[in-house]
A = this chain, B = another copy of it.
């Protein structure tokens, strides 16, 4: 949803055509190394925004070559954008993938958990090196925001590394425990708990 809302935001700032939106988006994130937004995604997202009535075609310039369709945000789009600004971002479980690998390697015996930890650690160190290089190439006088973006990535990578150390330290303990399996839940209607008496609803009255 971030691309969709970001395009909406950029159109709120100024009406633009597709390729211009892409350039602005990439510039906002400090280049293609940070977020390589494909041109095609801009156009698919734009057409979906137009279908939802959040943007509309304002004009189509044609000076010899292909048409440049300028898009503008609509009042409904501005409302949607405000909604996005006002709502917090919830965490996703993107981060759980390494955990899944570890647990499944223990469960299936198809891989060595220590090897997984090593591979992941090496990758995190490489990512940390790359982003630190980019961070140090960023001019704080011109692109302070992008510098802070890199800082966020660095902080996350450092947290991941510390977590890997924690896991490695307790891996033998985890090995001794069985893989968490589903507990058979009680079937059927749950018994009435005294704590939570049902409110007698008028709608429940029999005809």
Please give the residue numbers on chain A whose beta carbons come within 8 Å of chain B beta carbons, in ascending order. 1-2, 5-6, 9-10, 12-13, 16, 20, 23-24, 26-30, 34-35, 63, 65, 78, 81-82, 84-105, 107-108, 110-111, 115-116, 119-120, 122-124, 127, 141-146, 148-149, 151-153, 155-160, 162-163, 166-167, 170, 173-174, 177, 179-184, 187
Contact = CB atoms under 8 A, between A and B. Distances in A.
A26 B10 CA distance: 39
A152 B27 contact: no
Nearest to A86: B119
**Copies of this chain, count:** 2
A87 B192 CA distance: 45
B110 A82 contact: yes
Chain A interface secondary structure, helix, strand, loop or mixed?
helix
B145 A180 contact: yes
Contacts of A127: 90-91
Contacts of A149: 96, 99
Contacts of A107: 9-10, 13, 28
Given A13-B107, A24-B181, A102-B145, 14 more contacts: A2-B100, A9-B100, A27-B180, A27-B181, A27-B182, A28-B180, A29-B96, A29-B100, A88-B119, A89-B97, A90-B123, A95-B153, A103-B145, A145-B180
A9 B104 contact: yes
Contact of A163 (B90, B123, B151): B151
A100 B5 contact: yes
B123 A88 contact: yes
A174 B138 CA distance: 14
Contacts of A167: 148
24 contacts: A2-B93, A2-B96, A9-B100, A9-B107, A10-B104, A13-B104, A13-B108, A26-B182, A27-B180, A27-B182, A29-B99, A35-B93, A85-B105, A85-B116, A88-B120, A91-B153, A92-B94, A96-B152, A144-B170, A145-B177, A145-B180, A148-B163, A148-B166, A156-B156
